[in-house]
């Protein structure tokens, strides 16, 4: 695996100080300049690579050519999700189930890694619900196989939340977006129910949406789900905007929703969510469901 690279400004700063600092001092200086956003990117990249390759955290970090001090910092960040889910013994609300979930879990080398993989799936930021016009027999067979693993995310969960693109598909594209079209086009012939965009790939969301909309009627978006863990401010705004704030279900005008998202523009992920909402909800009313761990937005039929 190639050396981990950081933003150009950080690399430039390191070069300037290289002549006066030893390696340990240099990395410590670098770490002070890495803000939480960059640390999140690092964490998600490592997290996806681990499960794509079926490696534990220690083995993965040994394969990255970085200084020991930086390795120690990353190891602490990397292990946080696993410790969290093991310590609290709870499960975040399931947002989607990949078509190869069972085989993916079995291919992992330990229960700890499997739990970590499950945590990643459940903590993705945005899920895009799409219509599916593919073979109904295939859909039925698939639902029967995994029905016991699917937790309802809305009253429509049985029809819209049964299939998705595996996160590893997107993780392979992170270094370059040029292959997005090639990767997504074959999905026209599969049973696609939901496209899940992991947090580390959030910047590619608008591009993915445009590909889906332009290439096939199979991918007509009908709504999105926002993880409250990454969109808490948006969730609070939505709750306040519902006609009856004591209820968690209601209808909201699309234009009002855009204004809500714009007021939360300080959060990068919610800024992207604004663009997603524009794609999905233009010219429509959106039915809003605010649950404990997620917000569901779907088009209201008129």
Yes or no: say if 212 and 130 are a contact pair by the CB < 8 Å rule. yes
- The whole-number pLDDT of residue 135 equals 39
Residues 6+ apart with CB under 8 A from 96: 121, 124, 127, 161, 164, 194, 196
Q: Please state, in angstroms and rounded to a whole number, the distance separating the CA atoms of residues 289 and 196.
A: 18
β-strand partners of 297: 224, 288
What's the average model confidence in pLDDT over 71-78? 52
pLDDT tens, 229-246?
A: 555 666 666 666 665 545
- The whole-number pLDDT of residue 74 equals 52
Residues 6+ apart with CB under 8 A from 66: 3, 4, 74
SS3 6: coil
Q: Which of 231, 255, 241, 230 is nearest to 288 (CA)?
A: 241
Task: Indicate whether 260 pLDDT > 60.
Answer: yes
What's the average model confidence in pLDDT over 34-50? 45
Largest CA distance in the chain: 68
Residue 251 burial class via C-beta count within 10 angstroms: exposed 0-12, middle 13-18, buried 19 and up: exposed
What's the average model confidence in pLDDT over 49-64? 47
- CA 106, chain centre distance (Å): 22
Q: Which two tokens stand for residue 149?
A: 């693993």
What's the average model confidence in pLDDT over 181-210? 51
- The whole-number pLDDT of residue 190 equals 45
pLDDT tens, 196-215?
A: 554 444 555 566 666 555 55
Task: Indicate whether 252 pLDDT > 50.
Answer: yes
Q: Which two tokens stand for residue 239?
A: 């709750």
Q: Which residue has the tokens 């969290």?
A: 84
Distances (CA, A) of 270 to 213, 236, 277: 21, 13, 10
What's the average model confidence in pLDDT over 19-43? 48
Q: Which two tokens stand for residue 290?
A: 């605010």
Percentage of residues of the chain with pLDDT beyond 90: 0
Q: Please state, in angstroms and rounded to a whole number, the distance separating the CA atoms of residues 2 and 4.
A: 6
Other Cβ atoms less than 10 A from the Cβ of 82: the count is 19
SS3 222: strand
Q: Which of 118, 116, 56, 129 is nearest to 83 (CA)?
A: 116
What's the average model confidence in pLDDT over 269-284? 61
- The whole-number pLDDT of residue 168 equals 42
Range in 16-30, 112-126, 231-245, 248-262 with the lowest mean pLDDT:
112-126
Q: Which of 220, 77, 99 is nearest to 169 (CA)?
A: 99
Report helix angle 254-263 to 268-281, nearest 10. 170
- The whole-number pLDDT of residue 242 equals 63
| Choice between 250 and 124, residue whose per-residue pLDDT is larger | 250
SS3 127: strand
- The whole-number pLDDT of residue 13 equals 46
What's the average model confidence in pLDDT over 247-270? 63
pTM: 0.38
**Per residue in 224-242, is it b (16+ CB within 10 Å) or e — as a string?**
bbbbbbbbebbbebbbebb
Task: Indicate whether 293 pLDDT > 50.
Answer: yes
- The whole-number pLDDT of residue 235 equals 65
Range in 70-79, 246-255, 259-268 with the lowest mean pLDDT:
70-79
| Choice between 178 and 62, residue whose per-residue pLDDT is larger | 62
pLDDT tens, 132-147?
A: 444 333 333 333 322 2
- The whole-number pLDDT of residue 256 equals 72
Task: Indicate whether 152 pLDDT > 60.
Answer: no
Per the prediction, the chain carries an average pLDDT of 49
């Amino acid at each position: 695996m190639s050396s981990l690279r950081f933003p150009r400004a950080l690399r430039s700063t390191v070069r300037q100080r290289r002549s006066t600092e030893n390696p340990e001092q240099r990395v410590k200086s670098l770490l002070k300049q890495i803000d939480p956003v960059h640390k999140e990117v690092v964490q998600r990249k490592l997290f996806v690579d681990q499960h794509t390759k079926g490696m534990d955290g220690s083995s993965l970090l040994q394969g990255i050519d970085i200084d020991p001090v930086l390795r120690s910092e990353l190891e602490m960040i990397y292990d946080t999700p696993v410790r969290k889910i093991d310590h609290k013994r709870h499960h975040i609300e399931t947002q989607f189930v990949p078509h190869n979930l069972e085989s993916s879990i079995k291919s992992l080398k330990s229960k700890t890694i499997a739990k970590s993989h499950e945590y990643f799936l459940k903590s993705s930021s945005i899920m895009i619900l799409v219509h599916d016009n593919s073979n109904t027999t295939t859909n039925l067979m698939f639902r029967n196989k995994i029905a016991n693993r699917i937790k309802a995310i809305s009253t429509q969960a049985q029809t819209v939340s049964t299939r998705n693109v595996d996160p590893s598909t997107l993780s392979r594209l992170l270094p370059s977006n040029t292959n997005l079209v090639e990767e997504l086009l074959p999905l026209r012939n599969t049973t696609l129910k939901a496209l899940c965009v992991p947090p580390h790939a959030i910047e590619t969301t608008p591009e993915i949406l445009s590909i889906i909309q332009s290439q096939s009627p199979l991918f007509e978006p009908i709504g999105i789900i926002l993880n409250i863990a990454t969109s808490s401010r948006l969730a609070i705004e939505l709750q306040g905007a519902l006609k009856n704030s004591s209820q968690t279900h209601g209808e909201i005008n699309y234009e009002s929703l855009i204004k809500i998202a714009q007021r939360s523009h300080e959060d990068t992920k919610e800024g992207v969510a604004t663009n997603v909402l524009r794609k999905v909800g233009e010219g429509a009313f959106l039915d809003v469901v605010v649950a404990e761990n997620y917000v569901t937005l779907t088009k209201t039929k008129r």
